Structure 1
Amino acid sequence: MFEIDTAGFFRDLEEFLAAQTPATPLSPIDRAARVLPQEWRRTDAFWRFGGVNVTSAEIAKFLTGVLHILERDGWHQGFYQDYRTGARCIRGALIDAEKAGYGDFDASCVAQRVLDLLMRSAPGVRSEAIEGWNDAAGRTSAEVQALVRDGIEFARLYGPPPNATDGVGR
């Protein structure tokens, strides 16, 4: 099985982003696409979990479920779910999307990778985990929902088509 050195990847990502000075600001999706290692675009390592390919449609469906949960039940910070209001943090919405049948564990794990890539490719982000990003002072529901929407679009643009075995995405 292919092992992903996430610590090394994100260290390299920070160095790469620090060296970039684009003439015009990049969209979150374009920023993430620029830092997704070329070898991950040529193979399905980024889009695979547990030996199973997860397609762009499956990732987009899963993240659409995450977005639906956040829009329907509300968003909050601090812990997975506020049991008084039903609001969830982004991690709680990821957990509940799987429980609600928007996708399986494999889709959940790859969707998490997509969100992590988008989050960590943003300028000035220092969080190592999505929970830290979610709980950052000043974070808003609109920003969290925008990250999920960008994840849906990123998966549709760069994720593997059905039955992909190599050369996935753009």
Structure 2
Amino acid sequence: MTITTAETVALVERVAEELAAPRMWWGMSGHRVTGEAVARHLEAAADLMEREGWDPQFYAPLSGHSIVDALNWTARDGAGDADTRYIARTVTEALLRALTGAPYVDCEVWGEHSSRRLPEILTALRGASRLARLYGPEGSGAC
């Protein structure tokens, strides 16, 4: 499948509109989270999955080797926290909805689909990271 420049621009505009909502960048703890913090968490999750070879073709669903598991592990390792994990998942799902055209996508279920391959997951996580950097807020903003 080839995506044209016009299609790419339309896709980014759809995601950017959703990410522009101020509520998007507040974690479950009530603290505002920066786009940079979310981006780092997403990159750490992608790096873990790549380094450890967490390809869904080799692991059964609920095996502990999913996108959500990578976000959880990297939060425990200090790459983020519950807030960045929550928003990372939200940003990833916004990107996946735009890519698929679906009204709802759960990134864990998407990542564990039988057709999914690790390179596709890594592309989604790294794409979500770029979007978080571009459209997320800068600086801290605790409530």
For residue 68 of structure 1, report the CA deviation from its aligned partner. Answer: 1.2
Of Structure 1 and Structure 2, the greater helix share is in: 2
Counterpart amino acid of residue 142 in structure 1: P
Q: Which runs of 5+ in 2 are unaligned?
A: none
Counterpart of 2:115 in structure 1 is 138
State the structure with bigger RCO (CA 8 A, min sep 6), 1 or 2: 2
For residue 29 of structure 1, report the CA deviation from its aligned partner. Answer: 3.8
CA contact (8 A) 1:29 1:150 kept: no
Structure 2-normalised TM-score? 0.81
Counterpart of 1:157 in structure 2 is 134
Is 1:106 matched up with 2:83? yes
Is 1:59 matched up with 2:33? no
The one of 15, 38, 50 equivalent to 1:71 is 50
Counterpart of 1:148 in structure 2 is 125
CA contact (8 A) 1:80 1:91 kept: no
CA contact (8 A) 2:33 2:141 kept: no
CA contact (8 A) 1:29 1:153 kept: no
Is 1:94 matched up with 2:71? yes
The one of 5, 24, 31 equivalent to 2:6 is 24
**Bigger radius of gyration:** 1
Structure 1-normalised TM-score? 0.69
Counterpart amino acid of residue 156 in structure 1: R
Paired with 1:126 and 1:57, the residues of 2 have a C-alpha distance of 27
Q: 1:80 to 1:112 in 2, by over 3 A?
A: farther
CA RMSD of aligned residues (A): 2.4
Paired with 1:138 and 1:159, the residues of 2 have a C-alpha distance of 31
Q: Which runs of 5+ in 1 are unaligned?
A: 1-21, 82-87, 166-170
Identity of aligned residues (%): 26
For residue 137 of structure 1, report the CA deviation from its aligned partner. Answer: 2.7
CA contact (8 A) 2:42 2:88 kept: yes
SS in 2 for 1:75: coil
Paired with 2:23 and 2:89, the residues of 1 have a C-alpha distance of 14
For residue 146 of structure 1, report the CA deviation from its aligned partner. Answer: 0.4
